[in-house]
Chain A
Amino acid sequence: MDPATRLDQNHELSLREFPYIIRWRDGRCTRCGRCTAVCPVNAIEAAPHVHRRAFSEGGAPNPRAQRVIVHVVRQVTDIDRYCTGCGACMLVCPNEAIEPEYNPRHKFLTYKNKGGVPFRRGGRRNDPAPSTLDQLKFIRISMLTDPALDAGRHEFRIRTLLGRNLPPEALPLSRRGDRLVVGKSRSGNGFIPPVREIYPIRIGSMSIGALSPHMWEGLAMGVAYLNEVEGMPVVMATGEGGMPPRLLKSRFAKYFILQIASGYFGWDEIVHAIPEMSEDPAAVEIKYGQGAKPGDGGLLMAYKVLKLIAQIRGVPEFVDLASPPTHQTKYSIEEAVAKMIQSMSMAWGFRVPVYPKISGTKTAMAVLNNLARNPYAGALCIDGEDGGTGAAYNVSMDKMGHPIASNIRDCYLDLVAQGKQNELPLIAAGGMGKTGNLAANAAAMIMLGASAVDTGKHIMQAAAWCFGDEYNRCNLCNTGRCPRGITTQDPKLYRRLDPDVVAERVVEVFKAADVELRKIFAPLGRSTELPIGMSDALGVANKEIAERLRISHVC
């Protein structure tokens, strides 16, 4: 018969198995309790320890032992309360007494499947190795034969086109004397697709349910400021679930790309708001896939569905909102997807570009070619494997998906072969700015053939201090307990985040990226248009990458 308590603790995990180990310094700790209060996963707790203390009293040595009870901060070994390494404890500690330390020899994934439930989290692919994009260098520096431009003095038009461009042969132009005028179309039905001139770095889709109200508001304010004060036409995508009706009907609607995804959440409200909208949205994005969790649906947990979210999405409060992995009505790209693009176009009188977003995939070219033949498709957005998400299974995030660089390159070269490289803009998403090099990653993608890039995770990190990284730090977005107040609907948490400060950071991030883009484009000698497809400017030390992307191998 087993004893009531097994003395060997054989079925417990040791702290060595955990990805982060708390370093707590007894001598510095004032026992204020802030760290244990702030920890989003209760990985640390106050605990009594019995210590044996030797002491001596009186003139002559007279050592005696005493048992005292001391209070310590202890890390628990419950796998469900693992330390995520977010560092909130460190942030609130008045005395630098505590910090989590990464344990490279952890065996976390081996054990994180209690109850038969695989590890689920937010964030992006946990792979800290430099991405392909980070390995690319800009090797074409104009010297003498082609003088470099001055990033500070010359005029740079860092703008791109969102929407379909007609082939030159199809432009409805006619000659009147020595002037061209828009008249009858030479071919087709005379339809000129809507095109927006936007900034080539966009804020990618993050929904108002996944993000806290303060975070979303901060992003939106930052985008409005960039447009109206800085003159930078940055647009952001709403993610699935619509946007606040008041904003939708305001003049700011033109800075937003409305996303429709497989759950169609928020669209009842949007459709009803259309007659009252004073501005058209920047575009409509039809989400068919997400780079972080390809082939997986979405789920907004019931506890996140508070009053505001319920109103925007047109659903009751506190119910799970599941978006299926696919659009249930879409059985073919030639038929159903084409119809969906046309329906969305029709909703705004064909004045708004409509384009699909898919996850990076080996089959992207099939999608591309169908869209290339669909005169109403405004672009193709491809979200690579390094894209982020608010919630997914770890296996989807870590092991599923296609790297963005070769996916976009293949699509671009395919369009070049058909002469349609300027007709259907490619938008690259997933991992832009993964290691902080937002502008460099964007410029590299543009030179590989993208017309624009999306940033999501990077803007959360840069503008709202998101703790998440590729060492599985934090990544708690799915739990609703985001310690920064970014991905939570809990007012106690999101009030930590000041929307004004987020907005200010968004502006700073974009202005800095703009300077960096000039610093990249100026020595290249490019200023009037983006260097889309200027692949001769790229080089990489890795020969396989060079061959695959058809760029220079340099070493």
Chain B
Amino acid sequence: MALDTMKEGHDGSGLGLVLKDLGGEFEKFKGLPVLSGIASAKGLRDLDNYMYAQGFEEIHMWQPDIDGSAPEPETGRRDHYFAKVYEFPQLYRDRAQARQEGLLLEARLALRALGEEDESIFVFSFYPDVVTLKEVGDPLQLGRFFRLQDGSLRAKIILAQGRQNTNYDIYLYACHPFFLQGYCTMTNGENTAFVPIMEFLSSRGFPGYMGYNSDSEVFAHILHYTHRQLGYPLTYYKDVITPLSEQEINSRADGEALRLIRRSLRPLCIDGPNCVIGFTPDGTAFMVQDAKKLRPGIVGGAPGKYALVSEECGLDEALPVRDKTRDFSPMKYDMAIVSPGAGKLTRWNQLSGFKKTPA
């Protein structure tokens, strides 16, 4: 369905899919990490060797049932598209979640380093209950190529982007959505302040803050940094990327804290134009805009099924029957938050807080 919305507009440059809360054949592997990626024959051998050496035990592998009659991706058909489910190494099975996440990140980065130069391995995510699929080309054709319509991949939360990055060379690691330890975002727009933000994140001493093949990757990392590393509630993500002015800060009950945050996180201020759509590890989905330039973005639906899309025509395609009066396009100060399990849509505003309306 996510891909169907792209009939309403895409630039034909690529497909990026991140699926969370998996169903289908992954349903029985909840809690076990899934490694998603692309590899050549050699790359897959290297990958398997590495994973074996680290003590990961492969217990399931999904590969798309490729439709030979569909046009191939622009870069040619690769040897292996895969999502492998592993059992944690013995030593890590009872460890705290943060430790396990650290191990998964370490393994993903090591695999990336292993196959980056000769492009034999691309790994996009390694996390429980998350599958990522990326490829270069026309997203609808790629959908057919991977036979995504056959239902073998099912998920409750789907982030789909029908294009590659447009500002730099087409490259798989530059393709949205970007994922890090359960946090995922995709972005429409260009990030003016990319360089200082990237420098700030890179210098936090966290190994996952790397890559940056796209200026939009920082949005996922800012989310990870503020929510996971600093422990801020989700709404502060908006306050960090689009800080209020001194006067506006004075009107907030948490003004004192906000002022300190604005100063200490000054390099993470964005200037847009960006519409960011993403989710957090607990399955909360959200949409925010920059404070001035704004890109299109609209949220609609009803409890149980919400869509957060760039354009209204996409929303109409995804959810043709809905109460359109409840549609919400976040503006300068707004954040649209959909609670886990598509529970309900909440509007939050930097100046006036949560809007108390039944969603």
Binding site for B on A (CB under 8 A): 142, 145-147, 149, 154-155, 157, 161, 165-169, 171-173, 175, 178-182, 192, 195, 197, 416-422, 524-529, 531-536
The answer to whether the Cβ of B68 comes within 8 Å of any Cβ in the partner chain is no
Interface extent on B, as a size class?
A: 35 or more
B254 contacts across to A, CB distance below 8 A = 179-181
Partner of B199, one of A157, A175, A416, A528: A416
Instruction: Select the residue from B189, B193, B230, B246 with max chain A CB neighbours within 10 A.
Output: B193
B91 contacts across to A, CB distance below 8 A = none
Docked-complex contact A533 and B199, CB < 8 angstroms: yes
B200 contacts across to A, CB distance below 8 A = 419, 421-422
Docked-complex contact A421 and B269, CB < 8 angstroms: no
Q: Scan B259-301; emit 1 where CB is below 8 A from any A CB, else 0.
A: 0110111110111110000000000000000011100000000
CB distance from A270 to the nearest CB of B (A): 28
- Name the CB-closest residue of B to A144: B190
Q: Which residues of B, 212-253, contact A by the 8 Å Cβ criterion?
A: 229-233, 235-236, 242-243, 245-246, 253
Docked-complex contact B269 and A165, CB < 8 angstroms: no
A533 contacts across to B, CB distance below 8 A = 195-196, 199, 267
The answer to whether the Cβ of B355 comes within 8 Å of any Cβ in the partner chain is no
Docked-complex contact B264 and A168, CB < 8 angstroms: yes
- A418 and B245 alpha carbons, distance in the complex (Å): 28
A421-B263 contact, Cβ under 8 Å, with A146-B192, A157-B245, A169-B230: no
B269 contacts across to A, CB distance below 8 A = 528-529
Docked-complex contact B264 and A146, CB < 8 angstroms: no
Partner of A149, one of B199, B203, B267, B292: B292
Interface of B is mostly: loop
Partner of A166, one of B189, B264, B291: B264
Docked-complex contact A526 and B293, CB < 8 angstroms: no
- A420 and B204 alpha carbons, distance in the complex (Å): 9
The answer to whether the Cβ of B151 comes within 8 Å of any Cβ in the partner chain is no
- Name the CB-closest residue of B to A142: B192
Can you list 26 A-B pairs, Cβ within 8 angstroms, ordered by A?
A: A142-B190, A146-B293, A157-B245, A168-B230, A169-B229, A169-B230, A173-B257, A179-B257, A180-B233, A180-B254, A417-B203, A419-B200, A419-B203, A419-B204, A421-B199, A422-B264, A422-B267, A525-B272, A525-B293, A528-B291, A531-B196, A532-B196, A533-B267, A534-B195, A536-B194, A536-B195
A168-B265 contact, Cβ under 8 Å, with A180-B254, A180-B257, A182-B256: yes
- A32 and B194 alpha carbons, distance in the complex (Å): 66
A154 contacts across to B, CB distance below 8 A = 292
The answer to whether the Cβ of B352 comes within 8 Å of any Cβ in the partner chain is no
- Name the CB-closest residue of B to A197: B246
Instruction: Select the residue from B189, B233, B266, B267 with max chain A CB neighbours within 10 A.
Output: B266
B272 contacts across to A, CB distance below 8 A = 146, 525
Enumerate the 3 nearest inter-chain pairs by beta-carbon distance, A residue then B residue, closest first.
A419-B203, A525-B192, A146-B190
The answer to whether the Cβ of B205 comes within 8 Å of any Cβ in the partner chain is yes
- A438 and B265 alpha carbons, distance in the complex (Å): 28
- A525 and B261 alpha carbons, distance in the complex (Å): 23
Docked-complex contact A418 and B203, CB < 8 angstroms: yes
The answer to whether the Cβ of B75 comes within 8 Å of any Cβ in the partner chain is no
Docked-complex contact A145 and B190, CB < 8 angstroms: yes
Docked-complex contact B260 and A192, CB < 8 angstroms: yes
Docked-complex contact A195 and B263, CB < 8 angstroms: yes
A171-B261 contact, Cβ under 8 Å, with A149-B292, A534-B195: yes
CB distance from A170 to the nearest CB of B (A): 8
A145 contacts across to B, CB distance below 8 A = 166-167, 190
Partner of B235, one of A142, A178, A416, A525: A178
User: Contacts A173-B261, A175-B231 given; 9 further ones with Cβ under 8 A?
Assistant: A147-B273, A149-B293, A166-B260, A168-B261, A173-B257, A178-B235, A180-B232, A180-B233, A525-B293
- A531 and B270 alpha carbons, distance in the complex (Å): 10
Docked-complex contact A178 and B273, CB < 8 angstroms: no
A180 contacts across to B, CB distance below 8 A = 232-233, 236, 254, 257-258, 261
Partner of A173, one of B195, B260, B267: B260
Instruction: Select the residue from A145, A149, A179 with max chain B CB neighbours within 10 A.
Output: A179
Docked-complex contact A528 and B271, CB < 8 angstroms: yes
- A524 and B196 alpha carbons, distance in the complex (Å): 14
- A406 and B327 alpha carbons, distance in the complex (Å): 52
- A401 and B269 alpha carbons, distance in the complex (Å): 35
CB distance from A518 to the nearest CB of B (A): 13
- A155 and B264 alpha carbons, distance in the complex (Å): 22
Docked-complex contact B264 and A171, CB < 8 angstroms: yes
- Name the CB-closest residue of A to B244: A528
- A524 and B264 alpha carbons, distance in the complex (Å): 23
A147 contacts across to B, CB distance below 8 A = 273, 293
- Name the CB-closest residue of B to A530: B266
- Name the CB-closest residue of A to B252: A179
Docked-complex contact A526 and B271, CB < 8 angstroms: yes
CB distance from B227 to the nearest CB of A (A): 12
- A419 and B273 alpha carbons, distance in the complex (Å): 26
Docked-complex contact A528 and B243, CB < 8 angstroms: yes
A181 contacts across to B, CB distance below 8 A = 254, 256-257
- A419 and B253 alpha carbons, distance in the complex (Å): 30
- A178 and B194 alpha carbons, distance in the complex (Å): 29
CB distance from A368 to the nearest CB of B (A): 15
CB distance from B322 to the nearest CB of A (A): 27
Docked-complex contact A528 and B242, CB < 8 angstroms: yes
CB distance from A360 to the nearest CB of B (A): 23
B195 contacts across to A, CB distance below 8 A = 533-536
- A422 and B203 alpha carbons, distance in the complex (Å): 11
A171 contacts across to B, CB distance below 8 A = 257, 260-261, 264
Docked-complex contact B267 and A421, CB < 8 angstroms: yes
A146 contacts across to B, CB distance below 8 A = 189-190, 192, 272-273, 293
B293 contacts across to A, CB distance below 8 A = 146-147, 149, 525
- A507 and B65 alpha carbons, distance in the complex (Å): 71
- A417 and B246 alpha carbons, distance in the complex (Å): 30
Docked-complex contact A532 and B205, CB < 8 angstroms: no
B261 contacts across to A, CB distance below 8 A = 168, 171, 173, 180
- A416 and B269 alpha carbons, distance in the complex (Å): 17
A531 contacts across to B, CB distance below 8 A = 193, 196
Docked-complex contact B236 and A526, CB < 8 angstroms: no
Docked-complex contact B192 and A524, CB < 8 angstroms: yes
